[in-house]
Amino acid sequence: MAYELSEQELLRREAAKNLRDMGINPYPAALYPVNATSKEILDKFPQDNSLFQEVSIAGRIMSRRIMGAASFAVIQDGAGKIQLYIKRDEICPDEDKTLYNQVFKKLLDIGDIIGVKGYVFVTQMGETSIHVKELTVLCKSVRPLPIVKEKDGVIYDAFTNPEQRYRQRYLDLIVNPQYRETFIQRTKMVNTMRNFLNEKGYLEVETPILQPVYGGAAARPFKTHHNTLDMTLYLRIANELYLKKLIVGGYDGVYEFSKDFRNEGMDRFHNPEFTQMELYVAYKDYFWMMDLVEAMVERIALTLHNDTKVKVGDQIIDFKRPWQRFTMYEAIEHFTGIDISSMEEAELREVCKQLHIETDNTMGKGKLIDEIFGETCEGKLIQPTFIYDYPIEMSPLAKKHRSKPGLVERFEAICNCKEICNAYSELNDPLDQRQRFEDQLELGKRGDTESMVLDEDFLRALEYGMPPTSGLGIGIDRLAMMMTDSHSIQDVLFFPQMKPETNA
């Protein structure tokens, strides 16, 4: 069914036509010479009123007050909002007052983008404003903005519905500009991480998104087909195996900010497309990596908040080093009173029954331990905590523990009840790695859709020799949620994945 235009949209389209009929292009292809932002003016002019006497600025009209031969308007640029004072006889110095009487008063609307030139002054009400001497139409908006209105204490037309905000992020950023700061902070966070790693001499690289064999994590992939090669390809679920191939090739430290994809459930902590930073450093182990994670995340908090303490929901999270540390078995015993360190699969199933944890026949020993930990421990870890020394069944790519049989050298950092990173002393024994992959294949035969597949090319790379290496993966979206006090992963993604929009 064709989209039906509202009365307002019809009027705006007519206004665009009238502008053209008057010889004014509502969508000019011209450079507009902006020389200041609203924030620069509001910050600097009160301290030095000799500044901005020939200012040129552009932005979107957010409000207007027509007052006969003079009017006020507010425009919003990328830095904030500022008031304009527009006097008919000054923007129309000749006898023809069309620009003011017809264009500004009748053909321009809230949402239109204009450029103005003039000088900055302070009104009698004490508001820093721009006295407009010249006005240029830069873009006519033919769809009205949902501008907030209030009557008798009731607010109307506020653009606050989460689904609408996520679906029309461009509109959200216009009418709710306070949310822009979340994404600015996210970028600062990523830049802080990048600078931290570059200072240490690690090389930022790029690896394939389309992969013939998906690997590096336990997850269900998205599948596609390449017509020219006539082969099945997968959107990567992780970039781990490719980065480790670069360590084999001789680089001592490599990292990548990667878009990864997992064909799994969606909730406020999971989006099928997400961002990770993965780092691999030769001749290091997982204890060294714990220290690096503490230092990097502490620096992020200080850069974004000038403090290691960050408000996250109702909690104050302190990222100051050192963080609390538990082995996985210690954590389970600490929170349940049950020592599962020597239990086999049947005993673990009994523990799950005792703790009222649901299981199914596809779950092996590693999955059962993971369920026990997730149900009894994870929700109680508020302050940053390292959980380390995982059962071997849970970690097909991690090195066997140097002194504890049945365990691997792996850790996760958990904060505010959610994992924010995963790291290993990497497995570099090709024979052990092959056996782990084969064990994963057996789990797949039992119905585990997230089991790993066997990657022959990665095994071949290991057979040439990979030095002792520590690897790390940090979920950028989840860390951004914490650093910006955001409730949902959709709040830190410009364009989260959503169901197709349906018209009523």
Q: What is the mean pLDDT of each run of 10 residues along the chain (504 residues)?
A: 83 96 93 96 94 97 91 96 94 79 91 97 95 96 83 67 92 94 97 98 97 87 95 95 97 97 90 96 98 98 98 96 96 95 92 93 87 94 96 85 93 94 95 88 72 85 97 96 96 93 66
Same domain, 392 and 254: yes
User: How far is Cα 363 from Cα 67, in angstroms, rounded to an integer?
Assistant: 73
What predicted TM-score, i.e. pTM, was given to this entire model?
Answer: 0.90
Same domain, 128 and 211: no
pLDDT at 158: 76
Backbone angles phi, psi at 116, to 5 degrees: -135, 150
Backbone angles phi, psi at 18, to 5 degrees: -65, -35
Cα Rg of the chain, angstroms:
29
User: How far is Cα 484 from Cα 304, in angstroms, rounded to an integer?
Assistant: 9
pLDDT at 478: 94
Task: For residue 345, tell me if it sits in a domain.
Answer: no
Domain's final residue, options 145, 161, 192 = 145
pLDDT at 444: 74
Task: For residue 328, tell me if it sits in a domain.
Answer: no
pLDDT at 479: 97
Q: Which two tokens stand for residue 149?
A: 């209105």
Task: For residue 163, tell me if it sits in a domain.
Answer: no
Three-class secondary structure of residue 314 per DSSP: coil
Same domain, 316 and 416: yes
pLDDT at 394: 80
Domain count, the chain: 2
CATH number of domain containing 307: 3.30.930.10
Q: List pLDDT tens digits, range 420-473.
A: 999 999 999 999 999 988 888 887 777 766 667 788 999 999 999 999 999 999
User: How far is Cα 94 from Cα 460, in angstroms, rounded to an integer?
Assistant: 81
Asked if 137 contacts 130 with a C-beta cutoff of 8 angstroms, the reply is no
Domain's final residue, options 123, 145, 167 = 145
Looking at the DSSP assignment, which residues form a beta bridge with residue 229? none
Over the range 455-486, which residues count as b (16 or more CB within 10 Å of their CB) and which as e? Answer: beebeebbeeebeebbbbbbbbbbbbbbbbeb
Domain's final residue, options 145, 171, 196 = 145
Assign 3-state DSSP to the chain and report helix, strand, coil percentages, each to 5: 35, 25, 40
| 63-to-80, 120, 145 alpha-carbon distances in Å | 14, 19, 11
Same domain, 77 and 197: no
| Residue 89 structural domain | 7-145
User: How far is Cα 420 from Cα 297, in angstroms, rounded to an integer?
Assistant: 10
Task: For residue 470, tell me if it sits in a domain.
Answer: yes
Q: Which two tokens stand for residue 263?
A: 């064909």
User: How far is Cα 472 from Cα 2, in angstroms, rounded to an integer?
Assistant: 50
Residue 246: closest CA among 214, 203, 276: 203
Q: Where are the beta strands (DSSP E) in 50-176?
A: 55-67, 70-76, 81-87, 113-122, 128-139, 149-151, 154-156
Task: For residue 171, tell me if it sits in a domain.
Answer: no
Same domain, 135 and 200: no
Q: Helical H runs in 63-161?
A: 88-91, 98
Task: For residue 58, tell me if it sits in a domain.
Answer: yes
Q: What is the 3-state secondary structure (H, E, C) of 255-266?
A: EEEEEEECCCCC
Which amino acid, residue 260? D
pLDDT at 454: 84
Backbone angles phi, psi at 133, to 5 degrees: -110, -20
- Dmax over CA atoms of the chain, in Å, equals 94
Same domain, 289 and 415: yes
| 486-to-54, 315, 351, 414 alpha-carbon distances in Å | 41, 12, 35, 17
- CB-based contacts of 349: which residues, under 8 Å, 6+ apart? 359, 368
Same domain, 90 and 195: no
Task: For residue 29, tell me if it sits in a domain.
Answer: yes
Same domain, 438 and 486: yes
Same domain, 114 and 68: yes
Same domain, 297 and 394: yes
CATH number of domain containing 77: 2.40.50.140
Task: For residue 170, tell me if it sits in a domain.
Answer: no
Residue 281: closest CA among 164, 187, 197, 389: 197
Same domain, 306 and 454: yes
User: How far is Cα 314 from Cα 380, in angstroms, rounded to an integer?
Assistant: 14
Same domain, 273 and 390: yes
